[in-house]
């Protein structure tokens, strides 16, 4: 009896994605408060019209009981905490939410917990559901995700020479981790230009608490530069395997 209970564990998490497995099973990838990213099996979910099924769609925040066996943990009980129905009803917000969970999925490793990242993920989905300005929610998320992953970009001084950034157009380098002044532009051949208005908004998203950004309206011309820049910045880190500074340290040691 005692052995059985010790194999059970509880977790709360957000469903990042799922894949079908065999006739009736589904493998879920979740980001949990307790253990970071985990995979779990939901057995028989497609065969029986399980009440659990509706709770286990992507973005849903769930409380779970799981049983640890020889393979993946199996979900024995699932209860939705938030289902985000209003978010799902809006196509644009659904697309943004897919981007939000994909970044967490791609930047995180199995079973490396980060409670602040979990909180940012849940807060972002809640904000996205309630907002009329999804871009503001997303850019706050992107800048704070970079912080929590250890990639907070330096946006005030040139990352190469250390000079304070003056109000003219600059360059940005994800590889070096921040802004390069025009004199140091050649320090990273892959750096690309960033306009001063876009840089100012990046700083604003980086240092301003959410309570003060909530009502913000983002000028269309800034958004036209900011959206592709932040996506490109994050994609660059992922494509170059810079998933975490710790990971970089590990591979340069060997």
Q: Which residue in 161, 166, 190, 246 binds Zn ion (CB under 5 A)?
A: 161
Taking the complex as a whole, the smallest distance from the CB of residue 203 to Zn ion amounts, in Å, to 17
Closest CA to 139 of 244, 184, 131: 131
Give the SS3 label for residue 254: coil
Q: Which stretch binds Zn ion (CB under 5 A): 37-45, 139-147, 152-160, 201-209?
A: 152-160
The 103-142 contact track toward Zn ion, x by CB under 5 A, reads ----------------------------------------
Whose Cβ is closer to Zn ion: residue 38's or residue 194's? 194
Helix 91-107 vs helix 115-130: crossing angle, to nearest 10: 170
The three-state (H, E, C) secondary structure of 158-217, written as one string: CCCCCCECCCCCEEEECCCCEEECHHHHHHCCCCEEECHHHHHHHHHHHHCCHHHHCCCC
Residue nearer to Zn ion on the CB measure, 45 or 181: 181
Compute CA 18 distance to the chain's CA centroid, rounded to the nearest angstrom: 17
Q: How far is the CB of 206 from Zn ion (least distance, A)?
A: 20
Between 158 and 202, name the residue whose CB sits nearer to Zn ion. Answer: 158
Going from the C-alpha of 79 to that of each of 47, 68, 131, the distances in angstroms are 19, 18, 25
Nearest distance from residue 248's CB to Zn ion, in Å? 23
Range in contact with Zn ion (rule: CB under 5 A) among 1-9, 35-43, 114-122, 182-190: 182-190
- Could you tell me which of 40, 29, 58, 36 has the C-alpha nearest to residue 109? 36
- Token pair for 160: 């190469």
CB closer to Zn ion, 147 vs 188: 188
Of the ranges 18-26, 102-110, 131-139, 161-169, which one interacts with Zn ion (CB under 5 A)?
A: 161-169
Stretch that binds Zn ion, among 14-22, 74-82, 122-130, 160-168 (CB under 5 A): 160-168
Q: Does 179 contact Zn ion by CB under 5 A? A: no
Rank residues 161 and 224 by Cβ distance to Zn ion and give the closer one.
Answer: 161
20 Cβ neighbours under 8 A, 6+ residues apart: 26, 27, 46
Nearest distance, CB of residue 181 and Zn ion, angstroms:
4
Do residues 114 and 46 lie in contact, with contact meaning Cβ atoms separated by under 8 Å? no
With binding defined as CB under 5 A, does residue 184 bind Zn ion? Answer: yes
Choices 113-121, 158-166, 219-227, 233-241; region in contact with Zn ion by CB under 5 A: 158-166
Closest CA to 86 of 141, 128, 119: 128
160 sits near Zn ion (criterion: CB under 5 A): yes
Q: Where do contacts with Zn ion occur on this chain (CB under 5 A)? A: 158, 160-161, 181, 184
């Amino acid at each position: 009896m005692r052995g059985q209970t010790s194999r059970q564990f509880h977790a709360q998490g957000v469903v990042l994605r799922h894949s079908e497995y065999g006739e009736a099973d589904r493998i879920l990838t979740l980001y949990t408060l307790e253990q970071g990213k985990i995979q779990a099996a939901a057995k028989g979910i497609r065969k029986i019209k399980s009440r659990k099924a509706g709770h286990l769609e992507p973005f849903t925040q769930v409380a779970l009981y799981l049983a640890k066996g020889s393979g993946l943990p199996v979900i024995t009980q699932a209860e939705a905490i938030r289902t985000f129905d209003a978010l799902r009803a809006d196509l644009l917000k659904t697309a943004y939410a897919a981007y939000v969970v994909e970044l967490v999925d791609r930047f995180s490793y199995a079973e490396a917990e980060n409670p602040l990242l979990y909180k940012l993920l849940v807060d972002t989905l809640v904000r996205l559901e309630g907002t009329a300005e999804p871009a503001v929610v997303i850019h706050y998320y992107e800048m704070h995700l970079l912080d929590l992953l250890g990639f907070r970009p330096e946006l005030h001084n040139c990352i190469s020479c250390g000079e304070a950034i003056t109000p003219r157009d600059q360059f940005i380098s994800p590889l070096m981790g921040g802004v390069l002044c025009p004199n140091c532009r050649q320090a990273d051949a892959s750096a690309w230009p960033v306009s001063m208005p876009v840089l100012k908004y990046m700083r604003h998203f980086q240092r301003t608490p959410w309570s003060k950004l909530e009502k913000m309206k983002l000028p269309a011309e800034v958004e036209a530069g900011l959206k592709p820049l932040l996506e490109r910045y994050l994609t660059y880190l992922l494509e170059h395997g810079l998933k975490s500074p710790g990971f970089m340290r590990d591979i340069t040691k060997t």
